[in-house]
C-alpha cells in the first residue's frame, strides 16, 4: 500500500510538472490605444518569438480607457496615487506627444535596445529618444481619407491641401474625432497651427470644423464613417486609412497626404516606471524594433512573417524594408523618400497640447451646432479668443490649476457661443 501511494504521488507530481511546462507562460501588461488588429498580431507574434528565444509563451493583458490622450490622463492620475509603479509595464502607441509628456514627468524607464539600421530622426522629428526612454515603432502620416463613390456621385473634388478641404467641402461632409480623446486627431490640428501660424491656422481649423458632421471619440471610428459613406472625407492617420482601403478596395477609397503640410511622426513605445515585468517589457521593445516585429507592419496578411488575421499596413522605422518588400507590401508611401513640408516641433506641441485641446473643445466641439449655424449664415468669426503668446503663458503656468482651467474653458465657451449666435446687422 505504501509503495502504491509513493508511486501514485510521483505520477501526480510528474503530471503536474508536465501541465505547468505545457502551460508555462509569462504575463505582460500594456496600455495602448491601438486597435484590435495590432493588439492581436503583436501579442501572437511576440509570444511565438519569446517561446523561440526564451522558452516560454507570453500572455499580453491589454488596457485602454478610450484613446491616446485619455490613456495619458489615466496613467498620470494613477502615478499620482502610486508613484513607484501602477502595475502596467508599457505605454504603446498614440504618437510621440504622450511620450514627451511622460518622459518630462520622469515616468519612463531607460532601456538601450539595438538601434542599428534605425535613423535617429526624420524631417527634424526624432524617431527615438536620445536618452533611450521611448522609441518609435512605426511612422505615421496624417492626411485625408476620401470615399471615391461619394465624390463621383456628387461631383466633388479630391482636395490636395488642408486649406482646399476647409474651403471647398460642404457642411456635414467631413469626419473628425475629438482631439481631447484622440492624440492622432490632436496632431492634425496642431500641425495646422504650426504650418500656417497661430491666427491663420485657427482660421483654417474653424472653417474646417464647420464642415464636420460630428466629432467621434475614436479616430478609427472616423475612418469607418467615411468608408461606409456617411461622409465624403475624413481626417485620418495613414494606417487607419490604409486599413479601410484594404477592406473596401482601392476602387472605392483613397488617401492623400496634403502637399501643404506633410508631417511624419513616430508612433512610440516606452517602459513605465516601476514596470512589474521589466525584463519582459524590455524584450517586447526589442521585438517591436527588430526586423521580425517591423515585418508585421510592412508585410500583407498571409505573407510569411506578416500578419495572420488582420491587415496592419504601417510605415516601418527601418528604411531597408521599403526596398526589400517593395513588390509585396501594401504600404505605398516611403516616408524616407517623401519631401517633408516643414519641421514639426513636437516639443512645442507637448508644451501647449492641453490648452489647444481646451480651445478646440470649448470654442468648437461644445458649441458645434452654433458654429455650423454661423457658417451657414456666413457670419463665422474665425479668430481665436487668445493669441499664441498668451496660450503658451497659460500652458506654462496657471493651466496646471484644475479650477482655473475649468473657469477658462467656460469663459471661452461663452465667448464662442455669443459670437456664433450674434445676428448680423
For 254-297, what is each residue's pLDDT tens digit? 999 898 887 788 999 999 999 999 999 999 999 999 999 999 99
How far, in Å, CA of 239 to CA of 141, rounded?
A: 8
Q: Does one domain contain both 204 and 349?
A: yes
Please check whether residue 262 is in contact with residue 253, taking contact to mean a CB–CB distance below 8 angstroms.
no
What pLDDT is attached to residue 155? 96
Q: Does one domain contain both 173 and 207?
A: yes
User: Could you tell me which of 131, 88, 96, 84 has the C-alpha nearest to residue 110?
Assistant: 131
For 355-407, what is each residue's pLDDT tens digit? 999 999 999 999 999 999 999 999 998 999 999 999 999 999 999 899 999 99
Q: Which residue has the higher pLDDT, 40 or 17?
A: 40
Domain that holds residue 394: 141-263+343-421
Q: Residue 404 is part of a domain; what is its CATH number?
A: 3.40.190.10
Domain boundary among 337, 356, 373: 337
Q: Does one domain contain both 223 and 351?
A: yes
Cβ contacts of 391 within 8 Å, gap of 6 or more:
198, 352, 355, 356, 359
Cross-strand bridge partners of residue 212: 174
> Crossing angle of helices 368-377/198-209, nearest 10°?
90
Looking at the structure of the chain, the number of domains it has is: 2
Percentage of the chain exceeding pLDDT 90: 73
Asked if residue 306 is part of any domain, the answer here is yes
- Widest distance between CA atoms in the chain: 105
Q: Does one domain contain both 200 and 57?
A: no
How far, in Å, CA of 313 to CA of 300, rounded?
A: 7
Q: Does one domain contain both 97 and 183?
A: no
Q: Does one domain contain both 250 and 348?
A: yes
Helix, coil or strand: residue 216 = strand
Domain boundary among 288, 322, 337: 337
User: Could you tell me which of 92, 60, 88, 61 has the C-alpha nearest to residue 75?
Assistant: 88
C-alpha cell at 221: 471610428
Q: Which residue has the higher pLDDT, 35 or 81?
A: 81
Please check whether residue 37 is in contact with residue 313, taking contact to mean a CB–CB distance below 8 angstroms.
no
Q: 247 — phi, psi (to 5°)? A: -80, -35
E-assigned strands of 98-196? Answer: 108-109, 121-122, 125-126, 135-147, 174-177
Q: Which residue has the higher pLDDT, 10 or 285?
A: 285
Please state, as a whole number, how many other Cβ atoms lie within 10 Å of the Cβ of residue 398.
12
Q: Is 261 exposed, middle or buried (0-12, 13-18, 19+ CB in 10 A)?
A: buried
How far, in Å, CA of 161 to CA of 357, rounded?
A: 23
Look at the block and give the residue holding cell 516641433.
345
Q: Does one domain contain both 411 and 383?
A: yes
How far, in Å, CA of 185 to CA of 222, rounded?
A: 10
Pairing of strands 233-237, 57-63: unpaired
Cross-strand bridge partners of residue 376: none
| Helix runs in 111-197, H state only | 148-154, 162-168, 183-196
Q: Does one domain contain both 98 and 245?
A: no
Half-sphere exposure of residue 362: CA atoms within 13 angstroms, side-chain side: 22
Q: Does one domain contain both 126 and 23?
A: yes
How far, in Å, CA of 29 to CA of 246, rounded?
A: 30
Q: How confident is the model at residue 4 (pLDDT cuts 50, 70, 90)?
A: very low
Q: What is the DSSP letter of 90?
A: E
Q: Does one domain contain both 216 and 357?
A: yes
Asked if residue 1 is part of any domain, the answer here is no
Asked if residue 3 is part of any domain, the answer here is no
Q: Structure pTM?
A: 0.76
Average model confidence (pLDDT) across the chain: 90
Q: Does one domain contain both 243 and 348?
A: yes
Q: How confident is the model at residue 229 (pLDDT cuts 50, 70, 90)?
A: very high
How far, in Å, CA of 242 to CA of 314, rounded?
A: 8
pLDDT above 70 for 8: no
Domain boundary among 293, 309, 337: 337
12-26, 37-51, 193-207, 378-392, range with the lowest pLDDT: 12-26
What pLDDT is attached to residue 24? 57
Q: Does one domain contain both 182 and 276?
A: no
Amino acid at each position: 500500500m505504501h509503495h502504491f501511494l509513493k508511486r501514485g504521488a510521483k505520477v501526480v507530481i510528474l503530471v503536474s510538472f508536465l501541465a505547468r511546462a505545457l502551460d508555462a507562460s509569462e504575463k505582460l501588461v500594456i496600455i495602448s490605444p491601438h486597435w484590435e488588429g495590432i493588439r492581436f498580431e503583436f501579442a501572437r507574434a511576440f509570444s511565438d518569438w519569446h517561446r523561440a528565444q526564451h522558452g516560454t509563451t507570453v500572455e499580453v493583458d491589454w488596457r485602454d480607457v478610450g484613446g491616446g490622450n485619455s490613456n495619458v490622463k489615466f496613467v498620470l492620475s494613477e502615478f499620482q496615487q502610486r508613484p513607484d509603479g501602477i502595475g502596467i509595464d508599457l505605454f504603446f502607441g498614440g504618437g510621440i506627444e504622450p511620450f514627451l509628456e511622460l518622459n518630462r514627468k520622469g515616468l519612463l524607464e531607460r532601456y538601450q535596445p539595438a538601434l542599428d539600421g534605425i535613423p535617429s530622426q526624420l524631417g527634424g522629428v526624432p524617431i527615438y529618444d536620445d536618452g533611450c526612454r521611448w522609441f518609435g515603432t512605426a511612422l505615421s502620416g496624417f492626411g485625408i481619407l476620401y470615399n471615391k463613390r461619394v465624390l463621383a456621385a456628387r461631383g466633388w473634388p479630391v482636395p490636395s491641401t488642408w486649406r482646399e478641404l476647409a474651403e471647398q467641402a460642404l457642411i456635414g461632409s467631413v469626419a473628425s474625432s475629438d482631439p481631447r480623446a484622440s492624440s492622432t486627431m490632436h496632431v492634425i490640428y496642431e500641425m495646422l497651427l504650426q504650418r500656417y501660424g497661430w491666427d491663420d491656422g485657427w482660421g483654417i481649423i474653424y472653417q474646417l470644423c464647420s464642415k464636420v458632421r460630428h466629432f467621434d471619440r475614436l479616430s478609427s471610428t472616423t475612418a469607418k464613417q467615411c468608408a461606409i459613406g456617411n461622409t465624403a472625407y475624413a481626417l485620418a492617420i495613414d494606417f487607419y486609412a490604409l486599413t479601410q482601403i484594404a477592406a473596401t478596395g482601392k476602387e472605392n477609397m483613397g488617401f492623400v497626404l496634403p502637399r501643404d503640410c506633410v508631417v511624419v511622426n513616430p508612433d512610440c513605445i516606452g517602459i513605465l516606471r516601476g514596470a512589474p515585468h521589466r525584463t519582459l517589457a524590455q524584450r517586447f521593445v526589442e521585438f517591436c524594433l527588430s526586423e521580425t516585429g517591423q515585418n508585421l507592419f510592412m508585410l500583407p496578411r498571409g505573407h510569411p512573417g506578416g500578419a495572420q488575421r488582420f491587415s496592419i499596413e504601417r510605415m516601418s522605422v527601418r528604411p531597408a524594408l521599403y526596398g526589400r518588400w517593395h513588390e509585396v507590401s501594401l504600404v505605398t508611401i516611403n516616408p524616407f523618400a517623401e519631401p517633408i513640408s516643414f519641421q514639426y516641433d513636437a516639443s512645442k506641441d507637448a508644451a501647449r497640447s492641453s490648452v489647444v485641446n481646451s480651445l478646440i473643445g470649448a470654442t468648437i466641439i461644445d458649441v458645434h451646432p452654433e458654429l455650423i449655424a454661423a457658417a451657414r449664415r456666413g457670419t463665422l468669426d474665425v479668430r481665436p479668443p487668445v493669441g499664441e503668446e498668451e496660450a503658451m503663458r497659460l500652458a506654462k503656468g496657471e493651466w496646471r490649476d484644475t479650477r482655473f482651467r475649468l473657469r477658462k474653458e467656460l469663459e471661452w465657451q461663452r465667448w464662442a457661443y455669443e459670437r456664433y449666435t450674434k445676428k448680423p446687422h
